[in-house]
Structure 1
Amino acid sequence: MTFAELGIEQDIVDALATKGITEPFPIQTQTIPLGLAKQDIIGQAKTGTGKTLGFGLPVLQALGTDPAPGVKALIVVPTRELCVQVAEDLVLAASNRSTKIAAIYGGKAYEGQVEELKAGAQVVVGTPGRLLDLASQRLLSLKDVQVMVLDEADKMLDLGFLADIEKLFAQTPPTRHTMLFSATMPGPIVALARRFMNRPIHIRATDPDEGLTQANIKHVVYRAHALDKDEVIGRILQAEGRGKTVIFTRTKRAAAKLVEELGDRGFNAAAVHGDLNQEQRERAMAAFKAGKKDILIATDVAARGIDVNDVTHVINHTVPDDHDTYLHRAGRTGRAGKTGIAVTFVDWDDLHKWSLINRALDMGVPEPVETYSSSPHLYTDLDIPEGTKGRLPGAHAPATREQQSRPPRERQRTRTRASGSGESSAPRQDGAPRQDSGEGGGTHDGATPRRRRRRTRRPSTGSAPASS
């Protein structure tokens, strides 16, 4: 089956072919014909299976090759990273058309996004908060929207966007064509679909016998000690065939610390987390996609926006909070039909949390094996060459324990003591010893150093005079 056989027009087919996209995935095969017929759709498929083109191609084709200015299609996504990714995919598919796509999301200046809208963008991909903000300022009009798409609807529910989505729906015409895509279908999402969709068809692009986890991902779970994790990660990053790798941490601070640690060990890592501004996050993501950085350390805020087909490993630095989060993290690898490896570290305190995930996903690993950086099974499980250490050859050696524990002021004080009064103790160019004249004493004509002290007298009050 090809895109042309599904009814996609040739200019879009040619645009996709420039990036080697020639054969549709199952979710695309099932949704594209219905989308072209303007049938309301609830599409359910695991992350990384190609949902973006499943709804994106019908949207672009419905607008025609030269659409009139003004917002005709609205695609709502939960995160900034996913907004950028979806917009990039649509720009590629529409590269042979005059259709303009605008990415509208928070964390960036309004001016550039408003200019895109004023320039007549026909397709808007955006996050709920920024979309409503611009709409309330009358900078974004949704009255002419012909098609509306909710992508990753379950994540929007998790982030508390349900009320915002209802407000966006209310600003669009009731006759619009609606498509909703999600990896899971919790009750509130089903209720939302019933309220705002017209007799939708529910498409499930999964094999009922496959299980909840993707068959092309190898899942490895270790009970690891917190102080040994960095060394274990350093060895995993030298496994045979290791390509781009995503490491998920629980907190922003842990992500920043791990980037620094891996850099000291000689690895090329970037980070995406909430303490970085949007420009820094986009720069890190772009470097990762382009291959300039082959390791991306992220918190869950970025999980849904990492759509890179050649990620070979996902490492959970700490166990996720629930099974849905685990699926979305692991889904960053094994994309587009390729294989991948998901490694999860479970701390002793998180064994109960892992137990719930294991039971929900039926993974068959109730007791993760206790694992250290020296454990033989670590090497055999993950194809790590024998004798590998967690530091690349040539990386500078770590500071000693004494150096790490000594405060910077104390190190400065030590250097000051060594040089007398804090001035340079090097000899003068004429060979004579340097004469110091500070309060801390010094040498005088080569004589023995003598201690000088300046006293300040107070009016006599019966107390001893103060000295400085």
Structure 2
Amino acid sequence: MTLPVALSGADIIGQAKTGTGKTLGFGVPLLQRVVAPGDTELTGAQPEAPGKPQALVVVPTRELAVQVAKDLDLAGARRGVRVLTVYGGRAYEPQLEALRKGVDVVVGTPGRLLDLAQQRHLDLKHVRVLVLDEADEMLDLGFLPDVERILAQTPAGRQTMLFSATMPGAVVSMARQYMTQPTHINAIDPNDEDATVANIEQHVFRAHSMDKIELLARVLQSRGRGLAMIFCRTKRAAAKVSDELADRGFAAAAVHGDLGQGAREQALRAFRSGKVDVLVATDVAARGIDVEGVTHVVNYECPDDEKTYLHRVGRTGRAGNTGIAVTLVDWGDVTRWQVINKALQLSFYEPVETYSSSEHLYALLDIPEGTKGVLPRAERTRAGLAAEEVEDLGETGRQRKAGAAKGRSGDKEQAEAEPRERQTVRKRERRRTRGGSPLAEGAEQAGEAAAVGASSDAVVAPDLPAFEAADSAEGDAAAPARRRRRGGRGRGSSTEAAAEGTPEAPLQPAE
């Protein structure tokens, strides 16, 4: 339904269920309108500005940017279409070098695209096709200002296409402001009127928060399970669930916003290659991620709304395959789930109270009898996350921190190489004065002698220097002698004197 309209150059608002091929729905027309370097030799066609981007695809997440760019690169490989992925977390230099050499299609996230455009490294004046993938997320409150600035830098005669599985009416009205007579295409299978794909088997259970991890560990041991994705609401919950599953013997990895980009891509690569078969993620991986072999999706926590539920569940049952979606609803989230259930017209308004030992859990999900919450050692055959190397992405700040550490280590080495005499701190030489003038040498000696004589009749602190005692001796006889506090602030000297068993008494003037 999309290809004839998109190939004619008309603007499109495309909506279809997850896993039905939206990427190539806009990718094929986009690649068709691009003049690749190989086309010049075959057809003599010349681009308006050689080396400048002719198509731009804007996506909400980094993981989706990598996936879309990979699909477009594969589809346009024979024609030599140059596709560049632009997103945060990577070093600027490789992206700038690719832009200098020339690119045809740019796929990226709004932040890095806008950054490069403002620095005049990315020229969007010759973009002929603009695509907003997951458009409802792109035009949401957080991304709308950045998207507007990007649109302002593209030519007015461009072709604009918006694609997503969920397209609320308010988003459609907002999108029409940036489009010219768009055609709204909603691809629906006449035999599948539900909001989700028909070949996804859905289960909803009311589970206690203290029993969820045990229940999840048994669900992951159901017969025929392939790769599994576990979705959590918060980053802390995703990290915790991943660690607990790893402790129970599962090959699990986490993807969330607190991880560096290298660690996030390492987890996804390990998941795609099968080294890890359980991926615990936040909603950063809920949109657009397409991994072959995902048979189970588990909502460890209730989604926030029906859109989030659809995108999470859509990670399985893709491209005609079957899948199982399990949602665990806590007691406090029952009302939220009932709102989602009503919006999607599902049949799970009152979730069944379920525990890790419930018989219906074993029967519905085909879990072998006697399964416990720990994976048997004989079944721990995955290589794990450690088997996947972390790619050096040149993340922002990495080089600066390394240089600073090198500088600190260099200073330390230099200090160790210096002669010991130079490192020795000279003791401060103190000279006694009276009234601003130096004290005579005879008076100093007399004062020292007097201090020595007074030490036999008065209690003097052990670390009190002789010249301070002399000061006290030569002072006014009627006034009490000055004491030097051995502690810092407060009454440290009194405390120390009491601890040592020495009675605290004022110093007596020397006779």
Distance in structure 1 (CA, Å) of the matches to 2:161 and 2:377: 53
**Equivalent in 107, 112, 120 of residue 125 of structure 1:** 107
Write out per-residue CA displacement over residues 31-60 of structure 1, whole angstroms, 9 at most, x where no aligned residue. Answer: 122222212111111122111111111111
> Can you list the C-alpha shifts for 1:79-120, whole angstroms capped at 9, x where unaligned?
111111101111111121221111111122222222221121
- Is 2:118 the counterpart of 1:136? yes
CA distance in 2, matches of 1:182, 1:53: 13
2:240 counterpart (257, 268, 292)? 257
Partner of 2:504: 461
**1:54 counterpart residue number:** 25
Query: In the alignment, which of 34, 37, 42 is matched to residue 63 of structure 1?
Result: 34
Q: Which residue of 2 aligns with 1:105?
A: 87
- Which sits farther off after the overlay, 150-159 or 318-327? 150-159
181-190 or 88-97: bigger deviation:
181-190
TM-score, with length taken from structure 2 = 0.71
Partner Cα distance (1:263, 1:145) in 2: 47
1:380 to 332, 339, 363: 363
Q: Distance in 2 between matches of 1:459 and 1:266?
A: 63
Separation in structure 2 between the aligned mates of residue 270 and residue 200 of structure 1, nearest angstrom: 42
142, 148, 172: which is aligned to 1:190?
A: 172
- Structure 1: which 5+ runs fail to align? 1-29, 397-454, 463-468
2:75 to 87, 93, 103: 93
Q: C-alpha displacement at 1:354, in angstroms? A: 0.7
> Secondary structure at the residue paired with 1:336?
coil
Q: Structure 1 residue 196: deviation in Å?
A: 1.9
Tell me how many residue pairs correspond in the alignment: 375
Stretch moving more, 228-237 or 33-42: 33-42
* Offset at residue 357 of structure 1 (A): 0.7
Secondary structure of the 1:145 match is coil
1:458 deviates by 5.6
1:171 corresponding residue in structure 2: 153
Distance 2:215 2:501 in 1: 66
Number of the residue aligned with 1:42: 13
SS at match of 1:309: coil
Name the Cα RMSD after superposition: 1.8
Inter-partner Cα distance in structure 2 for 1:322 and 1:212: 14
The question of whether the paired residues in 2 share the 8 Å contact of 1:41 and 1:180 is answered with: yes
From 121, 125, 131, the counterpart of 1:149: 131
Contact 1:79 1:305 in 2 (8 A): no
CA displacement at 1:459 relative to structure 2: 4.0
TM-score normalised per structure 1: 0.77
Aligned partner letter, 2:145: A
- Percent identity reads 63
Deviation at 1:390, TM superposition (A): 1.7
Write out per-residue CA displacement over residues 164-216 of structure 1, whole angstroms, 9 at most, x where no aligned residue. Answer: 21211111111111111122222442233322222221111113661212211
Q: Is the 8 A contact 1:42 1:203 kept in 2?
A: yes
- Determine the structure 1 residue equivalent to 2:321: 338
CA distance in 2, matches of 1:461, 1:160: 69
Indicate if the aligned counterparts of 1:81 and 1:304 stay in contact, CA closer than 8 A: no
Write the distance in 1 (CA, Å) between the matches of 2:284 and 2:344: 22
Deviations 1:406-428 (A, max 9, x none): xxxxxxxxxxxxxxxxxxxxxxx
- 2-side partners of 1:124 and 1:188: how far apart? 28
- Verify the 8 A CA contact 1:56 1:90 in the aligned structure 2: yes
Aligned mates of 1:346, 1:395 — CA distance in 2 = 32
Offset at residue 381 of structure 1 (A): 0.4
Measure how far apart 1:142 and its partner are: 0.3
Deviation at 1:64? 3.4
Give 1:357's aligned amino acid: I
Q: SS of the residue aligned with 2:269? A: helix
Shift of 1:310: 1.7
Structure 2 gap segments, 5+ residues each: 38-46, 380-497, 506-511
Q: 1:50 is matched by which residue type in structure 2?
A: G
Q: What is the SS of the residue equivalent to 2:284?
A: helix
Distance in structure 2 (CA, Å) of the matches to 1:344 and 1:390: 18
Matches within 5 A, 1:395-410: none
Alignment check: 8 A CA contact 2:130 2:159 kept: yes
**Alignment partner, residue 73 of structure 1:** 55
> Among 59, 84, 88, which residue is 2:66 paired with?
84
- Between structure 1 and structure 2, the one with the greater Rg is 2
CA contact (8 A) 2:272 2:292 kept: no
Q: Runs of 4 or more off by more than 6 Å in structure 1?
A: none
Q: 2: CA distance between counterparts of 1:32 and 1:179?
A: 12
Separation in 2, partners of 1:159, 1:104: 22
Q: Which residue of 1 aligns with 2:448?
A: none
Q: Which amino acid aligns with 1:31?
A: T
Amino acid at match of 1:298: A
